[in-house]
Amino acid sequence: MKILSGTAHVRLAERIAAYLGEPLVGVDIRRFPDGEIFVKILENIRGRDVFIVQPTCPPPNEHLMELLIMIDAARRASAARITAVIPYFGYARQDRKDQPRVPITAKLVANLIVAAGADRLLTLDLHSQQIQGFFDIPVDHLTAVPVIVKRLRAMGLTDMVVVAPDTGGVKAAYAYSQILGCGLAIAAKQRRNAREVESIDVVGDVKGRNVILVDDLVTTAGTLCGAAQLLQEHGAGTIRAAVTHCLVTDEGVERLRRSPIQELIVTDSVPGRDWAGVQVCVESVAELLAEAILRIHNNQSVTSLFQV
C-alpha cells in the first residue's frame, strides 16, 4: 500500500496515513511560472496499491487538475492499482440537465478521472447518489452519518427532531431520524438564485423541540439559515446543524453568525477555516476513510462501515 496526497488537504491525508501506520509517499508538486502543474512521485511505486487523497474543494479546477496529473504519474510509474480518494467530490451539484444548453459537469469530471487512469474511487456523501453511475470503475461511496451521529449522541439531547432543509435532503434526514430514534420534519424552500433561498413552510412538529438540521454540504449557508429562521418562527427550542462538507464562504459565515443556529457540526472532509464568532464542532472522517482504504487494499467488504 502506498498513500499519496495532493495539496488540497494534506492534514487529512496525514491523519489517514497515521491511522494506517504508513508514511505518506513523497510527492513533488510545483507550479511553473505560467501556472502549469508539475508532479513527480519521489518513491518507487511499481506494482503497488496506490491511494491518492485529494478532495476537489475550492479552488476546484486547480485541485481537480492536480489529481488528474497525479493519477497519470502513478499510472506511468506502473502502479498495480490506483484508487482516487476524493472525500469531497466537486461539481457534484451539476449532475443533470435541468435547463436548455447546459452541461452535466459531474459526468464530465467522472470521465476525466477514469481517462486519467484511476481504477476505483473512494468518496464521501456525494450530493446525488446517482453520480456513482457516472463512473465506469468501482465506486465505494461512504457516508459520514456514523461520525456525526456519534457526536449527536454524545451531546445527550432529548426530544430531538431531525429536519431536512429542503425536499432533496429528505432521504438523508430520514436515515438520521431512524438511527437516532426521533421525529422527522421538512422545511420547504424556493431558490431565488445561486446565493439566495426563501424558505416557505415547515412540514412536521418542531415546537419546543431540539432541532437538528442535516445537509450534505454548505457554501453560502442560504438554505440552512433560511430553514433555521423558519424553524424559529415555528417555535423550535434549540437549533443545530450537521453538515458533511463545509465549504462556507465569508458571506456564509456572516449569515451563520446572524442565524438562530446555535452550533454547526461539520467534518474535516475539506480544510478548515476561520469561523469568527460561529460555534463549530469539527469531527474527523480520517479513521472512516482509513478503514475503507485498508479494506479495499485487503479486498474486504466496506459494508460494516455504514453500521451505527
**CA atoms within 13 Å, Cβ hemisphere of 146:** 14
Distance, CA of 226 to CA of 194 (rounded, Å): 14
Instruction: Give the amino acid at 38.
Output: F
Instruction: Establish whether the linkage from the previous residue to 59 is cis, with ω within 30° of 0.
Output: yes
Are 6 and 66 in contact, with CB atoms under 8 Å apart? Answer: yes
C-beta atoms surrounding 175 within 10 Å: 18
Q: Which three cell numbers stand for residue 97?
A: 440537465
Which are the contacts of 40, defined by CB distance < 8 A and separation ≥ 6?
27, 28, 73
Nearest to 289 by CA among 147, 175, 171: 147
Catalytic residues: 189
DSSP code string of 172-231? HHHHHHHHHT-EEEEEEEEE-SSS-EEEEEEES--BTSEEEEEEEEESS-HHHHHHHHHH
Distance, CA of 256 to CA of 273 (rounded, Å): 14
Instruction: Give the amino acid at 92.
Output: A
| 186-191-195 Cα angle (round to 5) | 115
3-state secondary structure at position 74: helix
Distance, CA of 51 to CA of 85 (rounded, Å): 6
Distance, CA of 46 to CA of 50 (rounded, Å): 10
